[in-house]
Amino acid sequence: MAETARTPLRLWLSGGWLLLVVAAALFAPWIAPHDPLAQDLFLERLPPFWIEGSEPGYWLGTDSLGRDVLSRMIFGAQIALIVAILAGGAACLIGSALGLAAGYFGGWTDRVIGRIVDIWMSFPPVLFAILLVAVLGTGLHSVIIAIAVIDWTRFARVIRAETMGQTRMDYVDSALVVGRSRAGILAREVLPNVLPTIGVLLSLEMGIAVIVEAILSFVNLSIATDDPTWGGMIAEGRTQIHFAWWVLVFPMIALFLTVLSFSQFGEGLKDRLDPVLR
């Protein structure tokens, strides 16, 4: 009962934070108090509003170039959201399609896809992502491609196992008896029953995509250095931790809460949608 009671709270809290991130990304040009790229050395390293020496309008302080930390965090949410949706969605489509094919058709299809997944997963994912971005060149499109190319295996393995379990159900045998094609059964009968699992995995993958993009930004392998990203802000703040701790701490909090919210939202969805757990 206690776990059941915690599930709605988990969904509300994580969903509320994600909704806040989405709103910040969509309305960044209107809600950001300053231009995230505007520099003013006379305003360098201003502290947050509750610390003596702050300036009105710079709520979370400024960095070493006088750029507003809050504005850069708000615009950084755009990059995080774009990567989460596009990279997570691409990995979901590729991995789910291959997992459905392997789990439903079996035989040589399953063996071939299984070998590809095993080979793909033998590479360390973060190092593989850095290698791919280094080959493709820096830029947002390279980051999205790298994450999708690496993380589709997460979907393929789980969806394959889920599909194999569904194909043993009586409703599949009944559909075959009445003369439905195998492709039709997969699309109309099996896929709808696998969709809850796909939704949970997609939520978890979005969080992973956000943190991988932050890692790539941290090592200057994401978008241009001047453009605001949470990982880039963390890398910059690391060198100023003794003089302007807020440049490091606030982006880290935003990144932590976003990744945690994606994870908790996915777990909450699993508890709500899984008929066995219900």
User: Per-domain residue ranges for the chain?
Assistant: 17-27+81-273
135 within 8 A of 149, measured Cβ to Cβ? no
| 17-27+81-273 CATH pick, 3.30.70.1060, 3.50.50.60, 3.30.70.141, 1.10.3720.10 | 1.10.3720.10
- Nearest-angstrom CA–CA distance, 99 and 116: 12
Give the pLDDT confidence score for residue 224 in this predicted structure. 64
Give the pLDDT confidence score for residue 255 in this predicted structure. 94
DSSP conformational letter for 55:
-
Give the pLDDT confidence score for residue 1 in this predicted structure. 46
Q: Which of 273, 236, 269 is nearest to 251 (CA)?
A: 236
Joined together, the tokens standing for residue 236 give 């910059």
Q: Which own/partner contact pairs does 239-248 have at CB distance under 8 Å and 24+ positions apart? A: 240/45, 240/63, 240/64, 243/45, 243/64, 244/45, 244/47, 244/61, 244/63, 244/64, 246/47, 246/48, 246/60, 246/61, 246/69, 247/61, 247/63, 247/64, 247/69
Give the pLDDT confidence score for residue 128 in this predicted structure. 80
- Nearest-angstrom CA–CA distance, 64 and 238: 12
133 within 8 A of 143, measured Cβ to Cβ? yes
- Nearest-angstrom CA–CA distance, 150 and 122: 11
Site of tokens 């090592």: 219
Q: Which own/partner contact pairs does 170-174 have at CB distance under 8 Å and 24+ positions apart? A: none
Question: Strand (E) positions, the chain?
Answer: none
User: Along the chain (278 residues), what's the average pLDDT of each consecutive run of 10 residues?
Assistant: 61 91 94 91 90 89 92 93 93 93 88 90 79 80 88 90 85 76 80 86 91 85 78 88 90 94 84 57
